[in-house]
Every structure is written in structure tokens, then in C-alpha cells.
Amino acid sequence: MKKLFLSIFCFVIAFGSSAQMVNKKYVPLKDMDLFQYSFRIIENDEDQFSAYIYPRRNKKHMFAKKNVKHTIAVFNKKKRSFSYHEVIFPATHYTDAIFDTGKDYFATFTRIEKKSTVYCTTHIPKGGTENARPEKRIVIPTTAVYETYLDSPDGNLHAVILLAALKKAHFKVYVFVYNAKGEEVTFEEFTPSTRTPLFSFSKAALMNNGDLTMLFINYEQKGKQYSDFMLPLSKATLPKPTDAKNTSLHVTTLINGELTEYRIPHFSFGEIHSASLIPLDSNKCFIGGYYGEMTSKPSIGYFSSIFDPNSEDIIETHNYMLPEEQKGQDKHMFLVHLKYHIHVRDIVRMENGKVVMLGEHCAYSVQTSRMGNTTTTSYSNWASDIVYQAFDTTGESERNDMVRKLQSYSSGTCIAPETFSDYVYNFKDFRISFDHIVDGNNIYLIYNNSLEHDKYCNPTPLEYGSTCIRLTKLSPDGAVDYKTIMKCSTRKSYLKRLWLVDDDGTVYICTTGKQGYGIESFEIKN
């Protein structure tokens, strides 16, 4: 378990001038449609890694008349080949969490019934099973349940958080924490005491001792407000942003079994667009995000706060205006009006103790056309520049910079910049946005981009001949180094998702294209 978690978040590499694919054979994923299915890496060692591939919560699976299979895909690193083990359930189950206990895999699931959601757990043999029988844990009286899963830094604790949208805008939160054996060590259910029922879930952090911190954004205005949590409730259409006022942060902590809620008052400098958190020492948390003059207008600045649950207050708060070239854009393109919000992709802790926040410019537009009695709706989704800020442990900003890119995708499907639920497709499902890797005091960004790194990429549709998989290194001294990992014309495929990174610097990515889905790997050498 230790090796798996270390390999995902950090690796030791030398970033030289020859960053290229290192004669690694492309390995297809047999009969796998990773648009309809999601995956989690559940085991990794020197010889192999295992991925659990499970159905997404979409109409195809939700209303399937027969069972939808789950698959354990085992990749042999030396032979560079996959073997597959099926897991069969008596009814359609959607995976919430799954992890390796050593002797088997422990998994949690939700099952949708007529007017309720059943949450259940089971142990799965590593060789798969044709007779999986999950045990019922609780029944939630709604089908609108959204989940997030997180691990403690040492990988010994695992948390599942379920948010249930009940009647009359009433929400309930269920928290489960399990140890490395799959035993339940904590269970809590509560209704967030936000000032209004309109809020979005942003992030949660699980400490090695089992303490849990959850961050929400509260909106003090009635009506539909754009947020990642509220988006799934809109079904086929995106809610139009309204000018919510007095946005505020709401922090819930679970420390030593005691549940406590804190409301951080509205910041005077603007309205919060997105926020996230990361634990610091002594149970303190770093909270950072981006803001604008109004929730419906482009992002203009970023902020940082240090929250101490022991004092029940914010110790430090700082806000900074972005330079003009980094502010969210308000653009008219043909008949499309784009308003860019900056979304927090992640906040990471570096080896030197610094904190780095990664953000991305995101926008969407909706086009509706009518021919006779038929109305067609299409969505254009935009993932633009990456911004990143470095802070000291008090929240003071030490560096602010940007990596240029422009990605877009048009679809008849409603997608979100980011979401913690399989209910809604996000940008990465459509090959836009980016993944990141932390190595000591360096950060590596991996994404689809134009062959010339200093130019925008506008893949609508994506063009194999003009696109590549880019690896960009962000150094603590502010230097930015761009490397081409693979030209997309080589195998007529694009980056789908980063899978994992081994301790020896081998990076495994999933690609998609004319050959279907498959695994590529590369190394970074001097």
C-alpha cells in the first residue's frame, strides 16, 4: 500500500533534454470503453499494477436490464500485457471506494432503487468473483447521492463521503472511515448548518490519525447557482449563473469523534468562485481559491487563509489581484459569450514546506437550435491557461505565474470543469484540462497541446497532426520547461488520463484514439 500511494504522488526523475517515449510498446485495454467506465488504481508493485474498472452513473448503466460487469485489469510490467478478472453482482452497483487490504480488496458501493439509494460494502477476491454479494449498510431516501473518496497520507485510513440531495433543497452528509483491513472505524451523518440550502462541496482532507476536515462554499441567494455539486441536479442543462451575494466558506471538522461546524464570514474583497484546502501541521488547514467581483463575472484574483479548528477561527487571510493577462476573460466569439472562471484543480504541499495552488481557466457556452419540432442543444467547453501560486506556511504569496494553453470540446453532453461524482462527465473525460505530478519541489503538468508549446491549442475537433502530449516542468525558481512526450499522429491517439507514476520514474498514461483505449509509458532521463 505504501508503494502505491508514494508512486502516485511523487517520483524521483531527472528532467533533461531527451524527454521522449522510451521504446515502450502500446498495450490496448481489451473491450474497455473508459468513456462509459471509470477506473481506480488499487495495487502496485515492481512487477505489476491492478486497476478496478467500473461503470459510470449514466443512463446506459442506471437503467440497464441486465447486470453491468466490473473488471480487475492486471498489467504485467515486464511482459507488458493485461490479464482480466470479472466481478459479477446480482444487480447494478456503482463503486464508491475500493482499496487493497493485502489478502483481498475492500469495496463500497451504492445501488439505485426506485426512490432510494442503498449503500453497501463487500470484500472482493483478487482473482475476481462471479458471486459478489454486497452487505447493506444504510438506505438513503433519494436517488440523488454523490460521493467522494479519499485516503490518509500514509494510506492506512480511507474515507467515503456521501452527499444526499433530499426534498426541498435539504441536504444530508454521510461520512464513513475505514482502516486498512476494511473495518469501519467512524460513521457520522449530519445536515450542514449553512445559512442557506444552496452550497457546493469543495474538498475534504483525511489525516493519519483519522481527523477529517470538509470544505463547503455557501451561496446566499435563492435560485440555481453554478457549482460542481449542484450541476448533477440540473440533469440535461447547465444552470445559468446568478449573481449570488455574500459567498462564504463553511468548514466541518470531525476530530476525536466530535463533529464541529464553522462558518467563515464573507470576504470583503469579492465573491468566491472556487476553493480547496490541504492539511498543515497541528490540524491547521490551508484554504485557497479564486474570486471575482460577482459569481457570474470572470475571476480577477486569488486568496489564501489559514484555518485553525482549535481556535475556531481564521488565523491569516490574504488576497491578491491577478495581473491582467491572468484574469478570467469575458469574450465574445462569433455568437458565443464566454465568461472564464478559474477553478482550483489542486493544492499541494512541497518538500520544502511551501504550498502551491494549481488553477485553470474554464468556461462553457450553450447553443440551442430548432428544426421543426426538434430542438438540439450543444455545449462548447473551454479549458484555457493554467495558473499557479506558491505560498509560505502563513499563506503569504511568494510566486504567481501561468502556463499558456487553450483546449476546447463541443458535445451534446453536459459536462463540468470538475466534479467528485460519476454522475456528471468532467473535462478530463473529453481529453481537455491536465493532470499533475509532484516531485520534491517540482511540479509536472501533463496535457494535450499544440506541437509548438508557445502557441495555443484549439482542438475542436482534435487534430492528430497538430497535437501532442506535453509535459511541462514548474521549478521552484520560476523556470518553466516544456517537453513533447508523444506526437498524437504517431498512434492517432490522445492523452486520456494519467494512471500512475512508479518510484523509478516510469509514467503510465491512458490514451484514446482510433485504436481504442490503451496504456503508454515513458521515462524521463538526462
Query: Looking at residues 81-103, what average pLDDT do you find?
Result: 92
Instruction: Kindly report, residue by residue over 121-142, the tens digit of the pLDDT.
Output: 999 999 999 888 899 999 999 8
Parallel, antiparallel, or unpaired for β 493-501 and 171-178? Answer: unpaired
Q: What is the DSSP letter of 62?
A: H
- Is a pLDDT exceeding 70 seen at residue 214? yes
Q: Binning pLDDT at 50, 70 and 90, where does residue 171 land?
A: confident
Phi, psi of 99 (to 5 degrees): -150, 165
Lowest-confidence pick of 157-166, 212-221, 380-389, 490-499? 212-221
Query: Looking at residues 228-255, what average pLDDT do you find?
Result: 57
Q: Do the Cβ atoms of 495 and 487 come closer than 8 Å?
A: no
pLDDT at 422: 61
Measuring CA to CA, which residue among 76, 182, 87 is closest to residue 519? 76
SS3 309: coil
- The count of other CB atoms within 10 Å of the CB of residue 181 is 12
SS3 45: coil
Residue ranges of domains in the chain? 32-149, 192-433
Query: Looking at residues 393-416, what average pLDDT do you find?
Result: 85
Q: How far is the C-alpha of 145 from the C-alpha of 160, rounded, in Å? A: 12
Q: How far is the C-alpha of 403 from the C-alpha of 302, rounded, in Å? A: 16
Instruction: Tell me the three cell numbers of residue 184.
Output: 469501519
Q: Do the Cβ atoms of 117 and 140 come closer than 8 Å?
A: yes
**Cis-peptide into 461, omega within 30 deg:** yes
Q: Do the Cβ atoms of 289 and 276 come closer than 8 Å?
A: yes
Q: What mean pLDDT, rounded, does the chain reach?
A: 82
Q: Do the Cβ atoms of 208 and 157 come closer than 8 Å?
A: yes
Measuring CA to CA, which residue among 418, 495, 433 is closest to residue 148? 418
Instruction: Kindly report, residue by residue over 331-370, the tens digit of the pLDDT.
Output: 666 666 677 889 999 999 999 999 999 999 988 777 777 8
Lowest-confidence pick of 30-34, 228-232, 383-387, 514-518? 228-232
Q: What is the DSSP letter of 240?
A: P
Structural element, H or E, at residue 7: helix 2-9
